[in-house]
Structure 1
Amino acid sequence: MRAFLLSSTVLVSAIAATAPAVAQTAPTAQDVTTVDEIVVVGSRIRRDNYNAPSPTQVVTREEATLQGFASTTEALQSTAVTGGTSQINNSYGGYVTNGGPGANTIGLRGMGPSRTLVLLNGRRVSPAGSRGSVGAADLNVLPTAMIDRVEVLRDGASSVYGSDAVAGVVNIQTRKNFEGLTFEAQSNLPTDANGNGGSTRLSLTAGVRGDRWRAAGSAEYYNRDELTLRDRQFTRCQTDGFRFDNDYIDPLTNASKCYPLTTTGSNGVTINTLGTGMMEGVAAAGATGTMFNRWRANSGVTEGLIGFEGVGGGANDVNVRDTFEDRMLNESLISPVEIVTLFGEAGYQLNALGNAEIYGEVLYNNRQSSQTGYRQLSLDYAKGSPLIPTNLSGSTFSADQGLSKGKPVGVRAFIGFGNDTSEQEVRFTRAVAGIKGDLGFLSDWRYDASVSFSNSDSTYTSEQFLTNRLIESLDVVSDGKGGFVCAQLANNPGCVAAPAVTTGTLAGQLPKEWVDYVFRPVTGTTNFKETIVSLGFDGPLYELPAGQVMAFFGAEYRKSEIDDTPGLDSQTGNTYNFSTSAITRGSDAVWEVFGELEVPVLRDVKFARELTLNGSFRYTDYDSYGDDTTYKVGLVYQPVEGVTFRGTYGTSYRAPALFEQFVGATSGFLASTQDRCNNYGAPNVNPNRVANCAAEGLATDWQQTRSVAVITAGGAESGLAAETSTNLTVGLVLQPRLPQGWGDLAFAVDYYEIEVENGVSRTGAGNILTRCYDSNPEDFKNDVGFCRLVSRDAQGALTVQNNYVNLATDNVKGFDYTVRYRKDVGPGTALFNLGVTQYTEISNKLFADDPLEDYAGMIDNPKFTATADLSYAWDNWRVRYGVEWVDSMSSYDYYGEDPATSIYDLAVDDYWQHNASVQYKADSWTVTAGVRNLLNQDPPTISAGVYNRVGNAPLYSGYDYLGRTAFVNLTKSF
């Protein structure tokens, strides 16, 4: 009964902004008054009602089951919780994300996971993951089987919880006083994905109690199968997506290329292609001219470069080249994962120290995840190499690019190598021990002291081409038997000679012995530790006419350490055409003291049934950047029955994550076209840029031929400080008393506004280059400002330092609307819930003098999202129908494109997802079955070259990539 009251009390008061319903009947006023004193997310003060100034959403385990979610991760990343903002999930396996591939995070209000604090039973969940950028809680570690409910606060709360609570707080509450034994099994199976992409969860939960003790725990196994690009129709053929028949059509097939080579972001590759110096030859279908430097094998060509047709060079479209092969469809659309989670909690009454209870929690989680990718291999054969056929011996492709030992490159082979695999294993442990009881010398005051230790220990492996082995394998001599051996075989006994340049080599037919020699697993390790010691006291201060003044005072110490050690080949830059990574190692610690007051000013007087003030304050002192203070004030005002006004205003902060302070120098690259001095003598170029490029001795028609190296590192040495923010929320709650038999209605609207200043960000290599070369020539000469971050060597190659600094400004503004209606109908009860999130502004800027760019309504940032469900419960049955909606989006205005004439498809229509389920509950067992995405709605599509895409759809977590999915959940208690 108590769990029922916890969830539905929030709903009736409409303080839970979009809380789903779980009860068949609503509690009466008498029921509400019997609720024990509890603590709800957003405050540390115990109270017997939910009239808090901040709106709180509650999601119960029963509602998550009815919606078909097989894990806490899925429920937390749903539109109802996130408001439609994009989240990092298992579709991001091929992208660089905090926590590494396989990590799943939550970020409220679209402000990223580092600005949302995740708690488990009111205590912060430490970051987990792999690679150097571990900085947010990984939702995979949460114990689904033991969870009772999830409380979501979309409001700044750093004065209550400390760092990271900028955009909101998510608190996962486990079951209390659980007794018995319960087995649960759930299976989710997509019906239109070749049987792939399904998930299974098995769990066992047990609890026992004695006169003075209690113990409970769970063991669970979760498995999600891989979903590949081959498994869904909208990912099987990635097209350019241009409008008005402007897609490039392959002249060989008269169809789309299925893996386009268009502008930035389209993921295209060149394969089955030979690169040479300019040579005369026969044009392939779609190519023009007689001189080419890119060739495709064609045995029918008997003149020019015999056996090859020209597919590139001069003004030829790069799409003429081969860009697709079937193995590309083996790439992960949703990466597979296997998770084992153990959770236990226990308590023992001492009958001493103020009727104290000693308590503890233990959490162990093991995640094994992997991702399948596709690799292109570019092999440079030195001029004069015996591996180059005689008819190509005169070709000079380029200067040495790192594989030819200083010799010019004769030819380059663009090879479709095939699939590669990345793997991660993350072992997360968390232990909590504490004591809580009454302060005997202060009536009704309690204390709670605890210590927790968390450890995330991971290994991560990726398959890489090792540069030193490629170099030695390409330096060959004849073995005297018609084959080749490595020239330096004596120094490298295991060296295997590279394959000769043949049509088979270009097609990816590579000797296994050679592949095994040059393509090797590279493994790194990551360890993240956090220790937290906290102490709190709460109780009444004194009595006012309107009630007791309640208070909470506390102190906390936290220390975090990170140690990421990439594989040695990654550290030394020995991974070919892949970024290098240095060791990330550092620690930080903080002392904090904080307090909270709740003051009942008026109660049950004319025009003030209730007026309550709430305030909190926190003093913070970090080792890394010093001290800071935050505060928050809130108000609840009920002038008459059924009408409540509420509001909060406060400040929050986010301390720089350890990786932002200490991440080891990591190298990456920009295209050579990003050199700001390219063709700087052209008309209408910024005169400062002209002067600065000339000062470097570059010709006016300079063209960069090398990639721009980008080095990313932490900002600790430059004095990285904390982000600061202000948060404003004001709301109205209406609970009109309807005539008898009309049911119960509640409506709430809340306006929110979050402004982050001094945001921790990287400037961006492009921004650095622009601001350096367009700066005052005197500043440029003296390496002032951004020019300190740019260097150019004697050959003209550029290197940019792109470290973490305090720069960005982020603003989010909008409204949350909630409607809840309940009515007895026939033998049961009908319940309707509607939650709408509106974003009126999602803006940011990098520099103080930049204009704010508003992204609300653009691709990946819908202005509106909504969820609605209608359920009907009678006897042992409950049926539910739910709808999720994501508003249409368009980016035409931002890019200055006229939608009537633009060749780009930069708009998506409204997206609707329908879900249905039915549940039968008997005395000792419950079965729930249903379908998610009932109408099998595919994501909308956009053009390549503008946004990151999955197949032809935007990479956006608000869309369902699985398609129609049937699910069944069985729970049996013993």
Structure 2
Amino acid sequence: MTLKGVLLVSAVTAIVPLPAYAKPQAQKVAGDPLVLASASQASVVAGDPGQDEAPIAPTGAEAPQSSDIVVTGSRISRRDLVSASPIATVAQEDLARAGKVSLEATLNQLPQFTPSLGANSNSFIGSGAIGIATLNLRGLGANRNLVLLDGRRLPAANAQGVVDINILPRSIIGDVEVISGGASAVYGSDAVSGVVNFKLRQPFNGIELDAQAGASTRGDAAAQDVSLVAGFNAPGSGNVMLALNYTGRGLVTQSSRPFYYQLAPSTIIPTGVALPSGTNLPSAAVVNAVFARYGVAPGRATPTSSFGFNDDGTLFNTANGANFVNPLAGSERFVQNADGAVGYRTGRAYLAVPLERFSAFGKAEYSLSDDIQIFAQGLYSTSKVRSNFNVNLSGAQWSLIVPATNPFIPADLRTILASRPVASAPFVVNRALEELGDRITTVRSDTFQFVAGLRGTLGGDWTWNIYGSYDRSTIDETLANSVSIPKLNELVAAPDGGASICAGGYNPFGYTNSLRLSAQCRAYVEGDTSNRTRTDRRAVEASLQGSLIELPAGPAKAAVTLDYRREGFRFTPDPLIRRGDISTISPTEPSEGSITVKEISAEILVPLLRDMTLAKSLNLTLGLRYSDYDTSGGITTYKAEGDWRPVEPVLIRGGYERAVRAPNIAELFSTSVGGATFLGVPPNAGDPCDIASAARNGPAAAQVRSLCIATGVPAGIIDAYTFRVSGLPAVVSGTRSLTPEKADTYTAGVVITPKFNTPALRRVSLSVDYYNITIKDAIGLIDGPTVVTKCYNLDGSNPGYSASNFFCSLFGRAANGSPGVLRQPYLNLGGFKTAGIDAQLNILSDLADMGLGANAGSLNFTTTISYLDNFKIQQLPGAVVQDFAGTIGTGSQPYPRWKAVTSLTYQSDSFLVGGRWRYTGRFKDVSTVLSPNFVVPGVGAYSLFDVFVEVDVAKRFKLRGGINNVGDRLVPIIGGTTPSDGGGTFDDVGRTFFAGVQAKF
């Protein structure tokens, strides 16, 4: 399970330092080029901020900004821009300077985000995740932060409710505001970890063209992004904006990076492997006699061995490589480990998936009168992504069942088979089906959203807003080269080896032999399969906000909101996938369902003190929301926040919020969706029953051995059993009885903006914030490593080594002992508790103040540091609580103790150059928590350095460029064997460069 919950608590931050033209504070005099917005402030974007709307302002290229502004995280407009919750703001310019063509790659550089499913994701078919770019605030999960466009929900990309943020044309985005701390009282369910609000650019006249291209210095990972945005004022009082965007990205294969060759190879190899049967073993004397003819000493191959097939018909022992003849000598594809075990790599799987995306956005607004404005906007995005999971496999429940009469059985194997007690019994063969091509999945995604509404003003400062929206997303996954295991078994079961069914039949023994498969046979056993997922949402919202009463410290303000949403979902798998006929895909059932929610919320801001001794300002904000779900009933969320400025340079703020997340459609209504879960490879991970695993060689080896037998490993092969496959098939299913998650969030912080007389420190901002969050009844899945760790008592969860343990019940074993399908129902698990500190320091220095000349420019220094004090997970109610802070592991999400981004920028009137340092502290391996008796090495500190430059070559013409990961630092080794965490914490592409141009007309 990869849930990580925490609050975003840093100050207003950006990926590169905010330039000298950063937004001014409202209280500053006009023309003062204030520098850095502190954590008490939010950026101001003139024009229509949707739900976060100021009173109606005139449209046009330079629409004046309202005196009152709505800060993300509240629906109450106020003129001082103070937020009781920490807000991070990324400016439009910073998105461009990061050099990424995808938004999530840019935002994930911030310490507040944990890389989640990314646009590069090579996810499994049926996951609905391939190519989806999501945001994951502090690792709590992409479905636990709410993603908005101008305060309105963006379309869900799949049944999990996550948003693919790359559906947004980059050219329409002004600033990005991020608030954390549980915003359910303001925005409703899914805002447990916070809100990411993309703000539209202000209405403008003219045309802007922007193009950017880049690639890695190895010649791959090519990326292009071209955008066009145009706007004009309509007759009367209105504005129209249209934006088009194209994004393309090339692939990166695993074998193109040197670290790939440190990966533990798969033991499902393309020569084919005959597996032993624990109840029908051959004669030891016969096995020794056969291998003696190869010059192999007695005992190196045993009756419990798995036998591979050389092309000449001889056998080899896959566990120690005895008599293995490499059919690709000189290549790095067939590998023998230090113990001689034979493995295989193809290297054709993708590190980065190729992508093409086209998106369009349009918005129109018109003032019907001085008090009423009508608006409408539409968004459309279509994308195509291709992923590769290497070759098809026959293994686990997709094994080949070969009769003893098969005509292709090598003579030596036939001799061994004849020595079995039941010589006529069929046997199992697993193999990497290289002759049948790679598992190529193409995903076509189409998303649209339409919003229309009215807004206006009433007496005084009261404003109102009502709108309706409809959105739909469809995902079509097509798996090319889908291999039908029943048809393969039909060929191998035929008396003539399938020659009567298709030309030549099928010979599964040996590498070259199987590659001779005829085109007719290949067409017989493989084809294309497809799945379709459709999600849609209908929503209506009405809101009213304004001043209630004038108090001595200022007006008390309130906001009231009514919401209605209906979300629907339907998943339709291919009939062959539904039957479980396709290699490596578990049987998958159709699913559908819907959720309807009605909500009412209220928020009030009460100014308590103003302009008094030790109280320049003191404000209290209260919020309450009631949500009625047709699936889980009524839910109440609430908040209380305060901000206190005892003296002008100091702001103290903090608060408490009860947040919730109702179960989403997938968690409630998924029937059985086939997929895969990562398990790892022994001895550091993988199946604890493997004879080479640390569990079978530790102080509790005898108890583990007995439990392995009790859970399905045949006693006859237990002392020779191996399972070196890194993953397991899995079936995910929903649970109708799920209850909403509940989160309690506390924040406390201080923001200091001192006034130093030293010119270099005249503009300084420092913020420090503490967060503490507790989640109860968290909804999630239990992942493969956790299941086997807890079943086999590697962390003390099953001290009696009982086969009836809950975690042992989540998977079975095949007749040869290999783990079967892992059942992963969505459950209300135990919970999470985490706490930490974020700090940010901003320094902007005008060189003119230091006597270096009026046009000397400015230096801007920004550093943002996050410290994770603890991250405690309780898998089930009453279970042991484990602290994962500072750990990383294969197949599990990283929990960095320290993370920081530091930038230094120089800017003049027409030139900007800067550098950025991205730092992640050292990790302990997750084994220190999950299996403390079998600890493996951790990972050292990790740093990346970037440089960027921007030049104004003409009044309306700008060039930019840069190099990311200048030192070409690739991923470290994790878990002793695996150079990838699967979560994007490290850079697996390497040094990249980019260049861009922007023209305005």
**TM > 0.5:** yes
Per the alignment, do residues 63 and 383 of structure 1 end up closer, same or farther by CA in structure 2, a change over 3 Å counting?
same
Q: Contact 1:436/1:447 (CA < 8 Å) preserved in 2?
A: yes
> Which of 589, 593, 596 matches 1:589?
596
CA contact (8 A) 1:14 1:747 kept: no
Question: For structure 2, which runs of at least 5 residues remain unmatched after alignment?
Answer: 1-8, 33-43, 45-63, 277-281, 323-335, 395-399, 680-685, 889-893
Instruction: After TM superposition, give the deviation of residue 225 of structure 1 in Å.
Output: 0.4
Are the structure 2 counterparts of residues 712 and 940 from structure 1 closer, same or farther at C-alpha, using a change threshold of 3 Å?
closer
The equivalent of 1:864 in structure 2 is 898
Q: 1:437 aligns with which of 456, 460, 465?
A: 456
Q: Give the residue type in structure 2 aligned to 1:838.
A: Y
The more displaced of 551-560 and 280-289 is: 280-289
In the TM superposition, what are the counterparts of 1:205-216 in structure 2 within 5 Å? 205-210=229-234, 211-216=236-241
Give the deviation of 1:699 after TM superposition: 8.1
CA distance in 2, matches of 1:581, 1:840: 41
1:635 counterpart (620, 637, 642) = 642
Normalized against structure 2, the TM-score is what?
Answer: 0.81
SS of 1:320 mapped into structure 2: coil
Q: Which one of the candidate residues 937, 947, 961 is aligned to 2:969?
A: 937
Separation in structure 2 between the aligned mates of residue 762 and residue 536 of structure 1, nearest angstrom:
37
Deviation of the 1:653 alpha carbon: 0.8
Q: 1:315 to 1:830 in 2, by over 3 A?
A: closer
Partner of residue 665, structure 1: 672
**1:764-913 equivalent positions in 2, closer than 5 A:** 801-825=823-847, 826=852, 827=855, 828-859=857-888, 860-891=894-925, 894=928, 904-913=936-945
Aligned CA distance change for structure 1 residues 449 and 690 (closer, same or farther; 3 Å): same
Is 1:273–1:322's contact at 8 Å kept on the other side of the alignment? no
**TM-superposition CA deviations, 1:136-169 (whole Å, max 9, x none):** 1112212211111110112210000001111111
> By how many angstroms is 1:52 displaced?
1.1
Question: 1:936 Cα deviation (Å)?
Answer: 2.0
What is aligned with 2:258? 233
| 2:356 aligned residue | 338
Give the match for residue 92 of structure 2.
61
Separation (CA, whole Å) in 2 of partners of 1:375 and 1:691? 33
Q: CA deviation at 1:284?
A: 7.9
Q: Which one of 737, 740, 757 corresponds to residue 755 of structure 2?
A: 737
How many residue pairs match? The answer is 891
The corresponding residue for 1:520 is 527
Instruction: Report if the CA contact (8 A) 2:203-2:239 is conserved.
Output: yes
Q: CA deviation at 1:511?
A: 2.3
**1:893–1:658: structure 2 CA closer, same or farther, 3 Å change rule?**
closer
Partners of 1:969 and 1:657 in 2: how far apart? Answer: 40
Could you tell me how far 1:518 is from its partner in structure 2?
1.0
Deviates more, 1:220-229 or 1:66-75: 66-75
In the alignment, the residues of structure 1 paired with residue 543 and residue 670 of structure 2 have an alpha-carbon distance, to the nearest angstrom, of 34
2:153 is the counterpart of 1:149: no
Q: Secondary structure of the equivalent of 2:104?
A: helix
The residue aligned with 1:448 is 465
The alpha-carbon distance between structure 1 residues 199 and 792, as it changes in their structure 2 partners (threshold 3 A), is closer
The alignment status of 1:556 with 2:563, answered yes or no, reads: yes
- Farther off after superposition, 99-108 or 286-295: 286-295
User: Do the aligned partners of residues 181 and 635 (structure 1) sit closer, same or farther apart at CA in structure 2, a change above 3 Å counting?
Assistant: same
> 2:844 aligns to what SS in structure 1?
strand
* Map of 1:466 onto structure 2: 484
Cα 1:711–1:74 shift into 2, 3 Å: closer
How has the CA–CA distance of structure 1 residues 793 and 392 changed in structure 2, closer, same or farther, with 3 Å as cutoff? closer
SS of match in other structure, 2:636: strand
CA positional deviation for 1:938: 2.2
Contact between 2:112 and 2:866, CA under 8 Å: does it hold in 1? no
Distance in 2 (alpha carbons) for counterparts of 1:416 and 1:696: 30
2: distance between equivalents of 1:92 and 1:397?
Answer: 48
Checking the alignment, whether the CA contact within 8 Å between 2:69 and 2:81 is kept in structure 1 is no
Note the C-alpha offset of 1:343: 0.5
Q: CA deviation at 1:570?
A: 0.7
Alpha-carbon separation, structure 1, partners of 2:416 and 2:569: 50
Give 5+ residue unaligned stretches, structure 1.
1-12, 240-259, 262-266, 300-305, 490-494
CA distance in 2, matches of 1:106, 1:140: 11
Whole-angstrom distance in 2 between the partners of 1:765 and 1:67:
36
SS at 2:973 equivalent: coil
Q: Distance in 2 between matches of 1:692 and 1:467?
A: 28
Tell me if structure 2 keeps the 8 A contact 1:154–1:169.
yes
Q: Secondary structure at the residue paired with 1:65?
A: helix
CA distance in 1, matches of 2:689, 2:22: 67
Q: More displaced, 284-293 or 207-216?
A: 284-293
Contact 1:69 1:75 in 2 (8 A): yes
* Equivalent residue, structure 2, for 1:244: none
Could you tell me which amino acid in structure 1 is paired with residue 915 of structure 2? Answer: Y
Amino acid at match of 1:238: Q
Counterpart of 1:16 (choices 12, 32, 35) is 12
CA displacement 1:176-200 (0-9 Å, x = unmatched): 2121111110012211x2x110210
Q: Take 2:507 and 2:404, find their aligned partners in 1: how far apart are those partners?
A: 13
Task: Provide the C-alpha distance between the structure 1 equivalents of 2:552 and 2:414, rounded to a whole number of angstroms.
Answer: 98
The C-alpha deviation readout for 1:823-869, integer Å capped at 9, x for no partner, is 11132122111111111112211122222211111122211111111
Say whether the 8 Å CA contact 2:145–2:195 is kept in structure 1.
yes
Counterpart mapping for 1:278-357 below 5 A: 279=287, 280-282=290-292, 289=299, 291=301, 293-295=305-307, 307-312=313-318, 320-324=340-344, 328-351=346-369, 355-357=371-373
Which residue identity is paired with 2:404? K
Q: Aligned residue for 1:916? A: 948
- Answer yes or no: is the 8 Å Cα contact 1:666–1:713 preserved in 2: yes
Aligned to 1:475: 493
Q: Distance in 2 between matches of 1:816 and 1:167?
A: 15
| Distance in structure 2 (CA, Å) of the matches to 1:366 and 1:446 | 36
Q: How big is each residue's C-alpha offset from its partner over 1:418-465, in whole Å with a ceiling of 9 and x where there is no partner?
A: 5331110000001111100012xx422111001111100121011321
Q: Quick one: distance in 1 between partners of 2:909 and 2:244?
A: 32
Counterpart residue number, 1:384: 405
Q: CA deviation at 1:294?
A: 4.5
Q: Deviations 1:601-656 (Å, cap 9, x if unpaired)? A: 11101110010111111001101111110011111101112011011211111111
Secondary structure (helix, strand or coil) at the match of 1:160 reads: helix
CA distance in 2, matches of 1:171, 1:103: 18
Q: Percent identity?
A: 26
User: In structure 1, how many angstroms separate the alpha carbons of the residues matched to 2:156 and 2:102?
Assistant: 19
Conserved? CA contact 2:674–2:732, under 8 Å: no
2:121 maps to amino acid: Y
1:727 & 1:687 partners in 2: Cα distance? Answer: 43
| Residue identity matched to 1:74 | A
Q: 1:811 to 1:413 in 2, by over 3 A?
A: closer
Corresponding residue for residue 724 of structure 1:
742
* Residue aligning to 1:373: 389
Counterparts of residues 596-611 of structure 1 (less than 5 Å):
596-611=603-618
Aligned to 1:160: 186
Q: Is the 8 Å Cα contact of residues 473 and 496 (structure 1) preserved in structure 2?
A: no
Counterpart AA for 1:349? S
Moved more, 696-705 or 197-206: 696-705
- Partners of 2:911 and 2:951 within 8 A in 1: yes
Contact 2:830–2:879 under 8 Å retained in 1: no
Say if 1:896 and 1:348 are closer, same or farther in 2 by CA, change over 3 A: closer
Q: Does residue 100 of the first structure (1) align with residue 129 of the second (2)?
A: yes
Q: Is the 8 A contact 1:383 1:395 kept in 2?
A: no
* Cα separation, 2, equivalents of 1:477 and 1:893: 50
TM-score, normalised via structure 1 length: 0.83
Could you list the per-position Cα deviations for residues 474-496 of structure 1 after superposition, in whole angstroms to 9, with x for gaps in the alignment? 23345xxxx9534xx5xxxxx56
Report what 1:253 is aligned to. none
